[in-house]
Structure 1
Amino acid sequence: MRHAESVTFGGSGFDRAAWLRPKPDELRALLGTDEARILPVWRGKPLIAGSAAGWLAVGHPVFAAAGEAQVFLGLDNGAARFAADISGWEPEAGEMPVDSVFFDPTEQHHPKLPEDHRFAELRNVMATLRPRDAELVATAKALIGWHQNHLFCSCCGSPSEVADGGWLRRCPACGAPHFPRTDPVVIMLITRGNHTLLGRSPGWPEGIFSCLAGFMEPGETLEAAVRREVAEETGILVGAVRYLASQPWPYPSSLMIGCEGIATSHEITLDPVELEHALWLTREEVAQVLAGDHPTLRPPRAGAIAGFLLSNWVADRLD
């Protein structure tokens, strides 16, 4: 797709300045400049200021609750950008997050910040961010989430240490290096003539359907993963497969790989463990869904690659 990177979290041309990561003295110097800014992330929620990322100056009182060393994200027009985990901060009891299958709608306000600054679930605000902020916030959320889940060496079990500006954890006991991981996920626009295949997982809000998706397995190509996932979940057979676009998906560390697959069968045999329901919709019906005019189906979440693929299919802009 010619405009694939216009998807939310797509490439904004940000300079990640990887050459600076193994240079702690230079990173400290950058952190000490007036232009440097840090994005706080609280228990997976980035700070949002209005409809933008909530960048704060170095030394802001919010960072009194920061844990390990700041993560170096890169240079934004020459200015250093970092992220810091402040999960140690405790909000008021009435502002605590809630467990949810789909997303957490609560927002937390820090007393040292303006009223429009709040820690929010990224799924709920991702479509409002400008492309540069979206890329940086996605990177920050994914990296900090990786650190939270990889505190110990997977080789010997010893506590590991942050290195290379947050892009490496090294074990001081056995010397093993550990790098951030990204899990590849195929998400499929399955078409058969003027129809496309959508499904919904158990626990989703009423009326929400989406493109089928699933994690890739070791030793598997994109094409094979698309065919396997669709067959496993719906019994539909897929022939030709082609890549369309990708989207970083920091929930917590996936890469959504959007593909089109041409179905060679039509009858759905549902796997009830994976899906609650699946159906074929015409292009005209999908247009209704996207416009919010369908009688029973709701539009996909703004910013998600599923909606991006469906919108471009309806508009005949997949090339």
Structure 2
Amino acid sequence: MRITEKAKNAALQTAIGQGLHYLEKDPETNIPKLMHLIDKLTPDDWYRAQRDAFRNVIESKNHWYDLILKVYDLDAGVRQTFFQNFIMNAALLGSATQEEVSEREDCNVPWAILLDPTSACNMHCIGCWAAEYGNRLNLTFDELDSIVTQGKALGTHMYIFTGGEPLVRKKDVIALCEKHSDCEFLSFTNGTLIDEAFCQDMLRVKNFVPAISLEGFAEANDSRRGEGTFEKVKAAMALLKSHKLPFGISTCYTSKNYNDICSEAFYDMIIEAGALFVWFFHYMPVGSGAVPELLPTPEQRAEVYHRIRNFRQSKPIFAMDFQNDGQYVGGCIAGGRR
């Protein structure tokens, strides 16, 4: 990393650190004053577009402002760890290291690394592509630890678990979070294995965030994921909310449920449940067990595309449209790009 970049990131880290500490005292009163503090501590030309966008959110007090306030309803330790690991380590300091390594090694260095701790799952959802791998493949804890250790050397501090069902390996997942306390871990999960003990583990390590699979209301969700799953997910969300823990939703939309998952009622339900973000993926038929009729039509995909973007203008939740948001991340985020 060039000395000027090191100095720039150190100065910005100090500014943001002071700003976040300032917010902890009284967020609703101090959020409007935040950009004034950041402006005092950093030169005018640093991250101008990002700062202007954040300033607009604060001044307009729109739905994004409401989302910021929701973050301040979280457990204080979890929130502070998220700010340190996600904003400081992953976004600022990590990105600077990634740029240095990328230039030196002439390769892409990913901002996030996706890994599957296991192919095992406690459910059997119709058309699930992960089932093609069987249910007996596992990375050992030492292998998981090695991946994260090597990733950190490249500047990567964000890790995303997929599967299988990652929480089949609860103990190893939590042990990994505990050992690498300077990283942020997100896990796609069916949510049915989240219980009181696991919530206590999340409160202890502070750097684990679940993205729970939910594919509409009870009828649409359970038709693919199994009877009673909708109620289990609702119970998991209620438990996480009661402990002031962050979580989001992961939804796979199909030709059968697309109208549910992009309805205002669905958005309002998951927001009320406490979700801070939602990932949208469209179903893709993969493998011998695929169900081609679940593939959404071009017209259905277009409808979902437009509805997601409309709700981005009004709902206090961060929505990501995996296949259709490539322009924001320079291509597929699973492809080793930024």
Shorter-chain TM-score tier: under 0.3
TM-score, scaled relative to structure 2: 0.27
**Greater share of strand residues, 1 or 2?**
1
TM-score, scaled relative to structure 1: 0.28
